Structure formats: structure tokens, C-alpha cells
Amino acid sequence: MYINNVLIIAKKEFSDLLSNWMMLLVLAVYLIIILVNVFNINNMLVADSAPIIHELFGDSYGAYFASCLFWDLTKFGSIVGVMIGCLSMANERHNNALNALLVKPLFRDTIINGKLLGSIAFMVFIIGATLVFDTSALFLFCGNYLAPFLSDYVSRLIIVFLFAIIYVMFFLALSMLISILVKSQAFAMILGLMALYISEMMNVYEFAWNVSSLFPGDRGYTTNLILSLSPDTMLWSLYLTIFKPSLDFFSALALAIPSIEELLLFIAVACISSYIVFTRRDVT
């Protein structure tokens, strides 16, 4: 019965997100940005800017195209993750559906687990669909360059897809926590986008160095600690390793595991915090 109730709420959450006009608008803009990026990649290749690519990725266009997909799914995908997390709670409050759920004979943990499951399932669906769309666009515009290196491109897709899910999931869970704490939908979205910006800034050494001055102790140690706590630091660390043409799939996966483990820990903290806040305070 408990699992059945969780699945019912998860299905409703998935359906609500899929039919939300704001989410559809964001997804439409997301796909347009991907098309523009692919078109720009094609223009760069036609303009014979290949020496830049060779310098960064050796002779493998496959690694280069996989790196482009990596950024499309993570940096732009994280904005979609923030939207999913915020809309998950905001829609229920706006339609008074959250009150209806809370007065039903359901445990609060059933509701939050169902909403988390539905939101994550929707996010995985969006990332998977975006991966297919992006790859199709690359074949359409850059097929002559991609086809000879298809195996190299495909060998990195699994790692890119897996890390994109985990990276975006962190911002989804964090924005859901913010949306539970903050009842204003607009303010919750602003805070979620600010969290994205702060994550990027924490990866900048000068920013981390300036922030470290606010804390006592060894400033160099504090700076390195701030840098290590940024999801974007993990993102760049992964980017600088897994797209080396000399690496096969298993070598790239081995290098990706530490970053994946760190992000999973961050996700666990955000999800547990959402669970505690939702079950112990008035969220209507």
C-alpha cells in the first residue's frame, strides 16, 4: 500500500510537470539553445578552426562532440533542474493540492518520497530526450565530422549521461528544499538560480580567496575547502579528465567515480534535509 501510494503521487508529479506551461517554455528555450550551439560548432568546423580542437582533444572529434554534449546537459540542464525542484512544490501550493494531500490518510513521508521520485523521473526523461535531440542535431549539422569518430563519441555517452543526471539532480534537490522553506514561488526560483551562480563562483579561485578572509585560521586551507565544496569544481575536474582521447571507457569511468561520489553525498544531504523539513513543519 505504501509503495503504491508513493507511485501514484510520483505519476501525478510527472504528469503535472509535463503539462506545466512554464516548464514547457523553459524546455523549448533549452532546445533552441542546443540548436544554436550545434550550428555554431558546425560554423567553427567549416571555418577550419580545427587546430583549436586538435590542441584540446588530439585527433578525436568524438571526444570534442561528447564534451559539447557534456556542457549542454550539465550547465543548461541545471537550470531545468532548478525549475523542476521549484515547480514541484509551487504547483501544489498554487492549486491548493498540497492541502488536499495533507488531509488525506497519507503519511507526509509518502508525499515527499512520491514528489521526489516523480521529479527525478521527469528530470531523467528530460536529460535522456535532450541527449537524443542533441546527438541527432550533431549528426544533422556535423555528421561528416562525427561519423568517423562515432565509437569514441558513444563510448563517452554513458559517463556524460550518468554525471549529467547526478549533477542536475543536486540542483533539483536543493531547489526543492528551498521551495519547501520559501512559500513564494518567484523568490524560491530566484534563490535556486542564485545557488547556481554561487556554485560557479565558488569554483573561481579569487572568489574563494576573498570569502576565506571571513573565516579564522589558515586562509589557503579555507580557500581550497571552498573550492572543493563547489559542484562546479567537480564538473571541471571531470571535464579535464574523461575527454582525453587516450582514455578508454573504463579508464574514464574510474576517473569519474570520485566526483560522482562527492555529488551523491551532496544530493543525499539535500534530500534528507527536504524530508526532515517537509515532515516536521507547516509547508502549506
Tens-place pLDDT, residues 206-229: 888 888 888 888 888 888 888 888
pLDDT (tens digit per residue) in 47-77 = 665 566 666 666 677 888 888 889 889 988 9
Residues of the chain falling short of pLDDT 50: 102-103
Q: What is the pLDDT of residue 92?
A: 64
What burial class does residue 217 get, using C-beta atoms within 10 Å of its C-beta: 0-12 exposed, 13-18 middle, 19+ buried? exposed
Task: Give yes or no for a contact between 122 and 12, defined as CB atoms under 8 angstroms apart.
Answer: no
Q: What is the pLDDT of residue 56?
A: 66
Q: Which of 161, 117, 120 is nearest to 260 (CA)?
A: 161
Q: What is the pLDDT of residue 185?
A: 77
Q: What is the pLDDT of residue 278?
A: 80
Task: Give yes or no for a contact between 170 and 271, defined as CB atoms under 8 angstroms apart.
Answer: no
CA distance 43 to 41: 5
Torsion of the alpha carbons at 108, 119, 243 and 233, rounded to the nearest 10: -50
Task: Give yes or no for a contact between 242 and 148, defined as CB atoms under 8 angstroms apart.
Answer: no
Q: What is the pLDDT of residue 88?
A: 83
Q: Which of 107, 72, 88 is nearest to 22 (CA)?
A: 88
* Residue 167 C-beta-side C-alpha neighbours within 13 Å: 34
